[in-house]
Chain A
Amino acid sequence: MTFTAFLLYKALLVLIVFTISLVIAMYSTYAERKVAAFMQDRLGPNRAGPFGLLQPLADGVKMFMKEEIIPTVSSKFLFILGPSIAMFTSCITGAVIPWGPALHIGGNVYPLQVTDINIGILYIMAITSIGVYGIMIGGWASNNKYSLLGALRASSQMISYEIAMGLAIIALVMHTGTLSLNKIAAMQTGWHWNIVYQPLGFVIFLICAFAETNRTPFDLPESDSELIGGYHTEYSSMKLGFYLFAEYINMFISSAIISTLYFGGYHMPFIERLGMPENLAAILGVVFLFAKIFFFIFFFMWVRWTLPRFRYDQLMNLGWKVLIPLSMFNIALTGTLMWFFGRLH
């Protein structure tokens, strides 16, 4: 592959991943409203287009048209920086996720991953930590007590749950022996999904993923009923749109990460045995991955419309006194099992 061809292919891939994240986030808002409605025995949006499918567009137009308000007492630069960081960080995490097996076209290999850095997991952890800044800066710059409280809650919540999440990942890394998402996805062939070997780690990771994406039951940073809107109380127009959008992209990316880390990524049992041509298998792999992702997005919504919000002290209790010891136990357990049975793969 020449350098230009390489550049072109990467640029195209970035564009596709970016577009897909945005479109999925867009339709997640629609799906969320539909799921919420269905679970409450309603119909949900059904006026804009067939089945209300154009609803996200209408919402987007509305967001753009709304009046842009920047409070005079806020610090303007930071006020704008907040949502920008939130949006930016949620968009760039998609870069390390292996969306499917490599395509083989004309003797060249085209991996369906923007970049396979060998510390993929660490990269994601790092980016999610930066994502906290978006919320914190936005909440603080608004100069509003509700925003500040929301921002405080967000930062302490995310920092607390990042620890448990990291510890859950350590056990996974011990088991897989690599930090590269591509290798982790590639090794989960057949029924060797990591969930089978790391059930406890998966539960911890899942709970932490809910907390990291600020989804109910951990939506304390927003908690509409107590803090008006939490960190984005003062935001309007597209800046608010960015925050809300970032949440949905985060949800999409977390679902992708959960599927990749614990649910075999693009693998599906029995399909590999059919001996399909490589490229067809690769495309099917993408389909499987997205099926898993959509399931988890649905799961996120399902939980949101089932569970009430945690109380703040319960949240901290769960994070520090339950999840962290549990994940440490999980590390010890993984270590012991590996001591006796060796690498399980």
Chain B
Amino acid sequence: MQALTTRAKVAVNKKMSFKERMYIPAILGGLSITLRHFFKKKVTIQYPEQTREFAPVYRGHHVLKRDENGAERCTACGLCAVACPAEAITMVAAERKKGEEALYREEKYAAVYEINMLRCIFCGLCEEACPKEAIFLTDEMVLTDYARKGFVHGKDKLVEPMDKDKRIDVSKRQTKEVAEFKTHPEFAHNQVYTKSLK
């Protein structure tokens, strides 16, 4: 069998020499190691004042995007729920009534859209599956709660604010390759929105 690393050692049950049985050299060695660590630079990040640097493509809390007019993009197709390996997404679809065009972009929309944050593994497959560029993962953290109920995030927590300045920027989540891929004629219906994603 091929060794997985070069550090593999064959264990031998040899008798310890007198020097080893005295333990004193080993203890001194240990003490010197801990003393060296005593003076080392500390790795602690002092949280509230100091935050860890996030990768630009960090996969955190989800956002349901609105289009440039402020209408919800999601059309409740359910592809994200199907793609989700953790089965964290549930939704109830509804038909758009007359006069709601400003609220929902497509004729069908999600009346209820819930993600169970305790089930979610933040893989980002929902985002990949979405044909409407509606769901994205952001670099925001999921807040803690005292009860399980609080972790089922509905539309109140997922849909981004209407206000243009408060929209959540997901441009970093769109790698160059993906953006290019989405210029394919097959995605023509989406192109204009991809550009306006902000």
Residue positions of A touching B, CB distance < 8 A? 35, 38-43, 46, 302-303, 305-307
Contact = CB atoms under 8 A, between A and B. Distances in A.
Interface residues of B, number: 14
Interface string B34-77: 11011011111010000000000000000000000000000000
A5 to B, nearest CB: 47
B42 A43 contact: yes
28 contacts: A35-B38, A38-B38, A38-B42, A39-B34, A39-B35, A39-B37, A39-B38, A40-B37, A41-B37, A41-B40, A41-B41, A41-B42, A41-B44, A42-B43, A42-B44, A43-B42, A43-B44, A302-B34, A302-B35, A303-B27, A303-B31, A305-B34, A306-B27, A306-B30, A306-B33, A306-B34, A307-B27, A307-B30
A305 B38 CA distance: 11
Contacts of A42: 42-44
Given A43-B42, A43-B46, A307-B30, 13 more contacts: A38-B38, A38-B42, A39-B34, A39-B35, A39-B37, A40-B37, A41-B37, A41-B44, A42-B43, A43-B44, A303-B31, A306-B31, A306-B33
Contacts of A46: 46
A55 to B, nearest CB: 16
Give 10 closest A-B pairs by Cβ, nearest first. Answer: A43-B44, A306-B34, A39-B34, A306-B30, A38-B38, A39-B37, A43-B42, A41-B43, A42-B44, A39-B38
B137 to A, nearest CB: 31
Nearest to B38: A38
Contacts of B42: 38, 41-43
A217 to B, nearest CB: 9
A42 B45 CA distance: 9
B25 to A, nearest CB: 13
A310 to B, nearest CB: 10
Contacts of A41: 37, 40-44
A41 B34 CA distance: 10
Nearest to B32: A306
Contacts of A306: 27, 30-31, 33-34
Interface in B94-152: none
Interface string B1-34: 0000000000000000000000000010011011
A43 B41 CA distance: 10
Contacts of B30: 306-307
A302 B31 contact: yes
A39 B30 CA distance: 11
Name the residue in B27, B34, B38 with the highest tally of chain A Cβ atoms < 10 Å from its Cβ: B34
Nearest to A305: B34
A152 B164 CA distance: 71
Nearest to A40: B37
Contacts of B27: 303, 306-307
Contacts of B37: 38-41
Contacts of B35: 39, 302
B40 to A, nearest CB: 6
A307 B34 CA distance: 10
Contacts of B33: 306
A35 B40 CA distance: 12
Nearest to B29: A306
A306 B46 CA distance: 25
Contacts of A38: 37-38, 42
A302 B37 CA distance: 11
Contacts of B31: 302-303, 306
B98 to A, nearest CB: 58
B50 to A, nearest CB: 11
A42 B42 CA distance: 5
A41 B37 CA distance: 6
Contacts of A302: 31, 34-35
A38 B41 CA distance: 9
A296 B35 CA distance: 14
Name the residue in A38, A303, A306 with the highest tally of chain B Cβ atoms < 10 Å from its Cβ: A306
Contacts of B43: 41-42
